[in-house]
Chain A
Amino acid sequence: MLIPALAVAALFGAAYMAFAVGHRTPARVAIGAGAATVGAAAPPLALGQCTFGAESTSVDHVLTYALMAGGAWLALIVTRAVFDSRDGKSEAAGSSMGGEIRSGGFRLGWWVPWALLAPTLAILAVFLYTPAVQTFTLSTKLARLGAPRTVDVCLTNFSELLIQDPFKLVLYPLLAIGAVYGARFWIRRTEPGTWNHRFAEVASVGAMLSVFVALYAIFSPGGDGTVKYRPVYVNTVIISVGIVAFGMIAGLAVAYLAFQKVKGATMYRTLLIWPYAISPAVAGILFFMLLDPTAGIISNGLKEWFGIRMPNYRESAILAQAAIIMASGWKILGYNVLFYLAGLQTVSVDQVEAAVLDGASPWQRFVHIVLPALSPITFFLLVTNLTYAFFEVFATIDYMTKGAPAGATSVSIYEIIRVGVDNGDLGRGAAQSVLLFAAVIAVTLWQFRTSGKRVSYGGG
């Protein structure tokens, strides 16, 4: 099965070089084919070809093909970038910035920048890259903390997170990818401002959502010896989106209010940033103390003054998720306020004054001048907040709900620590963290591709 797949990769590589890039020299087509083959061959070779072994399932095969496609795609991107730079066809952004960089340079030799980077690289290699590589290795094993031996399980730690129907496993992601590229094609073929274009934009939002739906469909709902990962995925999406939306909207609102010229504004601004200095664990304890139905401050107040019994937020999935979103969103709020306050100071006063003269209402000024001017900050915060929502919420959840009720607040990072550390199941924990790693890479890439175009950095 490996050889035909590699042949397909080679053909695709050649075709990509021939049609997509536009340099149709035989040498380049051959190099494209070669790069795609090498890229596609890397994952199965790294896994020791176990995916096509006797015990492998069709789900393992599908996963392997997906990895091979990813490897080939990566190799082609790199090859194309090399060709582009050799042709002097740098990206648009590179033309202005690259020029500046090239005017500097190290006269002593090519090794000087590397020597200067070496300490950083050494630390990264020891504390970041090595553990990362070992996590990949561990994710293909059945391993327990303190166990005298490990057992190679190939991709089982991954495939057991998915539905066991290979047909659907291929179909759903392909449909979603098709929808995304179809919508992009439609947008490109229509004129901005026409109805057709607006429909296309709506369709592209739908296409993006279809990616989430496809992922929902391919994660296993449990049973048949698989891991019940679908609920974890749903919780992660709900809670992460909730935290980012709440944290950023509230952050902008608060920053906009604090930016008004009022008495003591400096003090307000300083105080607003404080939640950022609090650790996620402390945020969890604080909200636990507020919301706990037995020992909580709010429940006591309600009972004393109004005779109302507060519901237990840990017994209802919606309340528990809302509580986590509130606590985590509050914790990141100070950070967002800080950046938005800085951003608001850069909004051009001239433009705002001009808009006032033109009779624009405060809301119009906010939507048409302030918001676009803040778009670089918003983009930056989107990335950092999402990373926060993915990785930093463990302590808050652990103090507030411990994943309850019935796992409704167990997001992927919580699940990783529960499985890998609390249960000592190193292999499964590693596999889930590789999955989260891939998710963060994918989300970041996607943000760079989509938001990058709409972000205005001002100037030329």
Chain B
Amino acid sequence: MSKLRYLALVAVFAIVAAACSSGGTTDTTAASGGGSGDGGSDAPIEIGMWIAFSDEARLGFTKDRAKEFNELHPEYNVVVQEFDSYNTVFEQAVLAVDSGEPPAIIHFFEAATRQALDAVDASGNPVFKSVTDAVAGRGAILGEPVVLDDVVDAARNYYTVEGSFYSQPWNTSSAIMFSNTDMLKAAGVDKIPATWGEVEAACEKVMAMDNAPKACITWPNHSWFVEQSLGQQGELLANNDNGRSGRATEVFLTSDGMIDYISWWKDMADKGYYIYTGAQRDWDGTSNAFQAQEVAMLVYSSSDTTALTEAGDANGFTVEASFMPYNEAKGYEGNLIGGATLWLLNGLDEKTQDGALAFLQFFNNPENAAEWHKITGYIPITKSAEKLLEDEGWYEQSPNSKVASDQLAAAKDTPATRGALVGNFVSIRDVITIAIEDILVNDLDVAERMAQANEEANKLLTEYEQLFGG
């Protein structure tokens, strides 16, 4: 009980802080929230939606779609509330569930899938409901056609747990490589490197140039890239088929694939080919280095395909996207997805739930999904959206945008490429990036340091299973 009170107190602070930072929105939320309780006929039913994007492009897109939906369905009022990171949304959602005021739709990243499935409220009921169960086989909800069956396989496979397609995919990406082809050509590299060996050979040429850049390649020290490499090499991160045939109870941070990838990474850094920006999860620093032509290649999320391509145009160089380089010694099994999905709150009354479901389908209808893809670089989430873009001639116009979809379609469907579902995943990812930083900065032995990380990560997982497991 005491923990609850503590959390309530934190929630009070959070509410005060939220009220200070965005007075207007909170006021309207509170006002219309009061009217919606009894589902009265006059006031529209409020559907809260919490998302982890606060940038103009992505937040603006979401708010515009909510506005359109509200005009189409005046009986509903979708209210979008933004947060600055996936972690913040997750924390706030957990607190809101405890205090009894959670929104109907919450945006979670892929690493929180296990935690979202395990989340229970104070009386022990699951916090979220499977979207498939809520749709219950209907073809359309309030006139909005259901797009769940149309979702591309890679996303469906990742978010299908225990046979149920749980959350509504929205922003889905993959890790791909962006090359400054002008620089590569100047160094005499005519073909974009596709394997570790080719990357190394290209880097040797790039760094041998007279006006060599600061380094040849970079990517953020984010565990996601490690997971991508494990998928490519066909290796598991966790037991029980990456936590998909049963709850994961052990993670493998000392597997061959893991050690090989990090050793290659360290080797590239030691040779001066890879530049470490000095911070973990440094999306901005690595992207800036590429845009400032301080590196020739960038392994990154496809979510920024549009922005990076445009930045190249603006700075006078050509950006070409390609598959993430793989280990030629192991072969290629496939990359996995990243990004986030929208989760539906459990225990909503039928009218609110249908409104939320209808919005989710509207939000991801072919036109909206295609538009979302265009402004960002997240893959078109449904096959119809892909077809729409093809018919429009979008891919001829911007070939970089197709790479992520192609890469995901090229993956074999195995537990390794479906990605791991692990409890405490966010912390375990931290353990991995801390270890890698230690290895890169302090020049440590890879196997030794990863053995230590393995111990820490498994302790975290064991503790999680103690608190959440069956």
Contact = CB atoms under 8 A, between A and B. Distances in A.
Nearest to B278: A314
Interface string B1-14: 01101110100000
Nearest to B12: A127
A143 B424 CA distance: 12
B101 interface: no
A134 B2 contact: yes
A224 to B, nearest CB: 9
Given A142-B466, A314-B278, A424 B91 contact: yes
Contacts of A422: 87, 426, 430
A250 B464 CA distance: 48
Interface residues of A, number: 42
Interface in A407-437: 407, 418, 421-426
A406 B438 contact: yes
A146 B427 contact: no
Interface stretch (A18-26, A36-44, A147-155, A278-286): A147-155
Interface string A216-241: 00000011010000000000000000
Interface stretch (B188-196, B284-292, B321-329, B365-373): B284-292
Nearest to B291: A294
A425 B467 CA distance: 11
A314 B91 contact: no
B300 to A, nearest CB: 15
A48 interface: no
A315 interface: yes
B467 A147 contact: yes
A292 B287 CA distance: 14
B97 A314 contact: no
B2 A137 contact: yes
A295 interface: yes
A314 B7 CA distance: 35
Most buried by B among A150, A309, A402, A405: A405
B91 A149 contact: no
Contacts of B427: 423-425
B276 interface: yes
A146 B115 contact: yes
A144 B467 CA distance: 8
A346 interface: no
Contact of B437 (A148, A309, A405): A405
Nearest to A149: B467
Contact of B464 (A144, A405, A406, A418): A144
B86 to A, nearest CB: 11
Interface string B412-432: 000000000000101100100
A222 B431 CA distance: 13
A401 B466 CA distance: 34
A405 B285 CA distance: 14
A151 B463 CA distance: 9
Given A134-B2, A312-B277, A424-B427, A151 B289 contact: no
Interface in A377-407: 401-402, 404-407
Contacts of B289: 294
Contacts of A405: 278, 437, 441
B278 A150 contact: no
Given A131-B6, A225-B459, A294-B288, A314 B434 contact: no
A315 B459 contact: no
Considering residues A148, A222, A401, A426, which has the most beta carbons from chain B within 10 angstroms of its beta carbon? A148
5 contacts: A292-B285, A404-B437, A406-B437, A406-B442, A423-B426
Interface of B: 2-3, 5-7, 9, 87, 91, 94-95, 97-98, 115, 119-120, 124, 214, 276-281, 285, 288-289, 292, 294, 424, 426-427, 430, 434, 437-438, 441-442, 452, 455, 459, 463-464, 466-468
Closest 3 CB pairs of A and B: A314-B278, A146-B94, A147-B467
